[in-house]
Structure 1
Amino acid sequence: MGETAEIPGPEGSEHVVARLRRHGRVLVLPALLLIAVAGVTAYAVPWLDEGWPQLAAIVAGALLVVLGALLPYLAWLSSRTTITTRRVIVRRGLFVRVRRELWHRSGYDVQVTRSWLQRSAGSGDVRLETGHEVAVVLRDVPKPLSVQAALHELMAQAHALGGPAVGPAARPAAFAPADTVSWGGR
């Protein structure tokens, strides 16, 4: 999580705190499937009759490898979460890309959920509740308690540096109530 890179922004520089993906253990089953299909196909093809039976075995093996190993690997590779000093950027999607950003200034609730398997692997789910209907869930993140602590610290820094304003006293001078014009009023 100690990566630092600068992202130029309109109000100065934004530093990358961490780049996260799902834990690598999600690729264990696709890797085992790849090994098993390659072994079975290599063993079975010479025993089959020449012609379409061998071709069918090779095509079936290739289809299993593509669907069971290649697509999960590409899906894992195409989803990434970047935590910067100002925001959390979540990118997901293999065929349709979805990008969601959460600003630390706006505030959100951070919750960590870990199953027994995740605890043994050192991972967990980090849920970011923003107050909207759909929460952002970072699934199977390595070191979720460190991620939670970092997010709490970044939110505290964002609020200390001029986070969201609450109440009429915190409004910018340009939006003072005396300057408000009511359209259609008498």
Structure 2
Amino acid sequence: MARVRPHARVLFWPTVLLFIMCGATGYYAGNLPEPWQNSMLIVAAVLLAVVGWLLPLAFWLTHRYTITTRRIIFRRGFFVRTRQELVHSRGYEVTVRQTWLQSLWRSGTVSINTGLEHPLLAKDIPNAELVQQVLHDLMHESRSMIGTSRQEQWALAPETSGWGRG
């Protein structure tokens, strides 16, 4: 149904850093007195671009939440990948927490508590209230489908049992 990532707002400062670094490198490259200083400026700019922009982008891209009609799948991790699944029919509690900045951008942290372990957190999700509503609807549909299938099983079961036959 949906694939969601954390809000792209987290990439704002790394992108500002990238633009400032590119501008400073373009201004100072070739204007330094020694040739080795120009080379070191380029090396430092590339290193800063990798650490300051490429790594945050890669970490942002590796956090993904997938909502299907049957389950929620949490995938995260850059060097070590973690995948967690939560089936809607299991039942859970969904809460949304928003800071003032998140409410300005209509995002929030969705907490899914199953009651058995630590709650699963989907941090800084866009349209968090809509995600909460969809999860409630999917959980209700899944539970009603299970109830319907159990009623059908009871209806198809034979009326008499074989207890005590010998």
Band the TM-score falls in, shorter-chain normalisation? 0.7 to 0.9
What is the aligned partner in structure 1 of residue 128 from structure 2?
144
What is the aligned partner in structure 1 of residue 10 from structure 2?
26
1:11-160 alignment runs, 5 A limit: 17-160=1-144
SS at match of 2:131: helix
Offset of residue 100 of structure 1: 0.5
Distance 2:91 2:33 in 1: 65
TM-score, normalization by structure 1: 0.76
User: With CA pairs under 8 Å and 6+ residues apart, which has the higher RCO, 1 or 2?
Assistant: 2
SS at match of 1:161: helix
Distance 1:105 1:85 in 2: 10
TM-score, normalization by structure 2: 0.85
SS at match of 1:162: helix
Structure 1 residue runs of 4 or more that deviate by more than 3 Å after TM superposition: none
What is the aligned partner in structure 1 of residue 150 from structure 2?
none
Q: Which runs of 5+ in 1 are unaligned?
A: 1-16, 164-169, 174-178, 180-186
Offset of residue 132 of structure 1: 3.1
Distance 1:135 1:59 in 2: 43
Q: Which runs of 5+ in 2 are unaligned?
A: 148-153, 158-162
SS at match of 2:146: coil
Q: What is the percentage of aligned positions where both structures have the same residue?
A: 46
Distance 1:135 1:68 in 2: 31
